[in-house]
């Protein structure tokens, strides 16, 4: 397990291990899981740069084409978790008229696809922190057959230390943190009845030194400041006024949210919280006929005006990353950039060629802006060619925030990094910004009554 800051050489260490194995006469065959399709490009670049003698096979096609390449020659095969999951479950998907019995993703079902691999590498292994998730089940089945298993992440957990157990279990099957999640909880956590039902597990803070000593087993950790003199970074908050129309909707939504918290209506809390976040970006999502979702764009959007002011003031030759959270926001931002005649690239959930867009931003000097979804773009991307980072919307969690910042502020960055937060008053922007800064989950804090809007 490599608990190393982003940009600290996790990929390089993995490649050097593969290279060493080849030099000593082994015939390694590694499957490398990455969080997103765009992350595959990062591994291709790193192999060309640091280990060109390794045969890297990127798996970027359909499930059938990816499957046909698995039996071919290669030292490492790189594929995103979602594509791999689609490949191994395609022939048992009940929606496609196949047998439903295999939809549980059994170990036998997974291993028939990865039988020839002796090494498993899980980049951003915290994506597998859910013990019931299909990502976890898939990796657990492959890990059991491999002699070499590596987990790479600079952010193994947020504030919930329970996230550690699944990640370590994928590496050593209980050697470090115990054979079951229950065993791990019994040792390090206090268990109490939850306010909304179920059980709440609270870490025993006095056992932190013990946990730190324990997780040194099978792991390496060092921070980015230990090996690299990083350039300075400057945080700038741009306060955005809330239009009268948005304010009316926001006040009504806030009241509904308060009532839902009092009544313990979790879904209603989540719905109104989502609406408050969308209002800060100038739109709302409403349900239409047949449960269709309709995006209603508000006429006045001062956040776009502030964004425009920043972009037109960019120094010559500099590039900027704009992070957003909602899919619809990507279109809103792109339309404004087109009006300003600013050449830009876009990476989001529905982008058909994300790698092509990534290359456009990196290689074309005229393409000065990359509009990036904080989920699909916060992991495993090297974007040091930009030194301006703009948060049009706040990420969901402190981990996403930290990871997205490190796309730009990482080794290889030679310029001062400017990080802008566009925060609209009377919406969820400011509380969410403060929550991420404190390393807390905003929605959980709302439900627990620790945050008031």
pLDDT for residue 58 is more than 90: yes
User: 75 with 43, same domain?
Assistant: yes
- 168 and 110 together in one domain: yes
Q: Specify the pLDDT at position 119.
A: 97
Going from the C-alpha of 325 to that of each of 103, 279, 296, 436, the distances in angstroms are 31, 13, 17, 14
Amino acid 206: pLDDT? 95
- Residue 289 binned pLDDT confidence (cut-offs 50, 70, 90): low
Task: Give yes or no for residue 308 having a pLDDT over 60.
Answer: yes
Strands 119-123, 30-34: pairing kind: parallel
CB 59 within 8 A of CB 85: no
Q: How high is the pLDDT of residue 436?
A: 87
pLDDT number for residue 150: 97
- Is there a contact between 380 and 34 (Cβ–Cβ < 8 Å)? yes
pLDDT for the residue 91: 55
Residue 437 lies in a domain: yes
Residue ending a domain, choose from 226, 251, 283: 226
User: Is 453 part of a structural domain of the chain?
Assistant: no
Question: Which H or E run contains 398?
Answer: helix 398-405
184 and 248 in a single domain? The answer is: no
pLDDT for residue 98 is more than 70: no
Average pLDDT, the chain: 88
Looking at 204, 226, 248, which one is the last position of a domain? Answer: 226
Please identify which residue in the block is written with the tokens 């979790």: 266
Check whether residue 286 and residue 220 sit in a common domain. no
Please determine, for residue 135, whether its predicted confidence score (pLDDT) is greater than 70. Answer: yes
State pLDDT tens for residues 334-374: 999 999 999 999 987 777 888 899 999 999 999 999 999 88
**Any idea what DSSP says for residue 194?**
-
Say if residues 238 and 391 touch (Cβ distance below 8 Å): no
Q: Provide the CA 316 distance to its chain's centre, in angstroms.
A: 31
Predicted confidence band of residue 288 (pLDDT cuts 50, 70, 90): low
* CATH number for the domain harbouring residue 145: 3.40.50.10810
Task: Say whether both 237 and 221 belong to one domain.
Answer: no
SS3 of 102, please? helix
Give per-residue burial for 174-189: e unless 16+ CB within 10 Å, then b: eebbbeeeeebbeebb
Helices (H), 90-157: 107-111, 134-143
* Structure confidence at residue 378 (pLDDT): 66
Total structural domains in the chain?
2
Q: Could you tell me if 212 and 261 lie in one domain?
A: no
Alpha helices per DSSP H over 325-397: 327-339, 354-363
Q: Does some domain include residue 452?
A: no
pLDDT band at residue 94 using 50, 70 and 90 as cut-offs: very low
344 and 413: one domain? yes
Q: What is the pLDDT of residue 6?
A: 72
**% of the chain at pLDDT higher than 70:** 93
| CA distances for 57 relative to 4, 41, 42, 335, angstroms | 25, 11, 13, 36
> Does the pLDDT value for residue 417 go beyond 60?
yes
- CATH number, domain with residue 250: 3.40.50.300
- In-domain check, residue 196: yes
**pLDDT class of 104 with cuts at 50, 70, 90:** low
Query: Of the residues 226, 241, 261, which one is the last residue of a structural domain?
Result: 226
Q: Both 182 and 321 in a single domain?
A: no
Query: Which residue range(s) make up the domain with 91?
Result: 2-226
240 in the same domain as 184: no
Dist CA 168 CA 136 (whole Å): 11
H-only helix segments in 4-91: 10-23, 37-50, 63-70, 81-89
The yes-or-no verdict on residue 103 having pLDDT over 50 is no
- Is 149 inside any structural domain? yes
In this structure, the answer to whether residues 126 and 200 fall within a common structural domain is: yes
How confident is the model at residue 392, as a pLDDT?
96
Strand boundaries in 307-387, DSSP class E: 320-324, 344-347, 369-373
Residue 101 lies in a domain: yes
* pTM as predicted: 0.74
Do 203 and 338 sit in the same domain of this protein? no
Confidence of residue 158 (pLDDT cuts 50, 70, 90): confident
Is the residue at 119 inside a domain? yes
Half-sphere exposure of 397 toward its Cβ, with a 13 Å CA cutoff?
12
pLDDT at position 200 = 86
Q: Check if the beta carbon of residue 98 is closer than 8 Å to that of residue 54.
A: no
Comparison of pLDDT for 111 and 139, the residue scoring more: 139
Does the structure show a pLDDT above 90 at 147? yes
Q: Based on the fold, state whether residues 187 and 259 are members of the same structural domain.
A: no
Report the alpha-carbon distance of residue 163 to residue 136 in Å, rounded: 12
Residues 112, 306: Cα–Cα separation, whole Å: 53
* Assigned domain for 414 exists: yes
- Do 67 and 43 meet the contact criterion of CB atoms below 8 Å apart? no
Other beta carbons within 10 Å of 211: 17
Whether 379 shows a pLDDT value over 80: the answer reads no
Residue 97: predicted pLDDT: 46
């Amino acid at each position: 397990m490599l608990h190393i800051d982003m940009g600290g050489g996790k990929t390089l260490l993995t490649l050097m291990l593969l290279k060493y194995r080849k030099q000593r006469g082994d015939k390694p065959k590694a499957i490398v899981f990455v969080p997103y399709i765009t992350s595959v490009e990062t591994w291709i670049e790193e192999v060309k740069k640091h280990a060109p003698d390794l045969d890297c096979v990127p798996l970027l096609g359909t499930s059938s084409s990816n499957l046909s390449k698995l039996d071919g020659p290669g030292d490492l095969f790189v594929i995103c978790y979602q594509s791999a999951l689609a490949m191994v479950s395609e022939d048992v998907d009940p929606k496609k008229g196949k047998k439903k019995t295999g939809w549980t993703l059994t170990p036998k079902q997974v291993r028939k696809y990865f039988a020839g691999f002796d090494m498993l590498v899980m980049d951003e292994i915290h994506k597998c922190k859910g013990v019931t998730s299909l990502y976890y089940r898939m990796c657990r089945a492959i890990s059991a057959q491999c002699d070499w298993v590596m987990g790479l992440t600079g952010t193994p957990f947020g504030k919930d230390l329970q996230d550690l157990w699944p990640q370590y279990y994928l590496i050593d099957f209980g050697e470090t943190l115990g054979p079951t999640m229950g065993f791990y909880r019994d040792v390090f956590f206090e268990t109490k009845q939850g306010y909304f039902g179920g059980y709440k597990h609270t870490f025993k803070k006095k056992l932190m030194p013990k946990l730190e000593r324990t997780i040194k087993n099978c792991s390496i950790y060092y921070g980015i400041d230990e090996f690299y003199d990083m350039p300075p970074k400057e945080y700038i908050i741009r306060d955005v006024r809330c239009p009268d129309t948005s304010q009316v909707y926001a006040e009504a939504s806030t009241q509904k949210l308060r009532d839902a918290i009092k009544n313990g209506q979790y879904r209603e809390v989540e719905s109104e919280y989502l609406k408050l976040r969308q209002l800060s970006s100038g739109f709302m999502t409403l349900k239409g006929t047949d449960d269709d979702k309709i995006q209603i764009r508000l006429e006045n959007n001062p956040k776009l005006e502030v964004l425009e002011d920043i972009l037109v003031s960019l120094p010559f030759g500099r590039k900027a990353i704009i992070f957003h959270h909602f899919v619809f926001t990507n279109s809103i931002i792109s339309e404004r950039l087109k009006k300003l005649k600013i050449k830009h690239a876009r990476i989001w959930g529905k982008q058909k060629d994300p790698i092509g867009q990534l290359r456009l931003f990196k290689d074309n000097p005229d393409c000065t802006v990359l509009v990036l979804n904080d989920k699909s773009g916060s992991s495993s991307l090297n974007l040091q060619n930009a030194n301006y980072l703009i948060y049009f919307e706040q990420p969901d969690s402190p981990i996403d925030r930290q990871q997205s910042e490190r796309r730009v502020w990482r080794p290889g960055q030679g310029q001062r990094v400017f990080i802008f937060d566009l925060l609209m008053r009377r919406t969820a922007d400011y509380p969410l910004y403060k929550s991420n800064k404190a390393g807390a989950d905003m929605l959980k804090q709302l439900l627990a009554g620790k945050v008031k809007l």
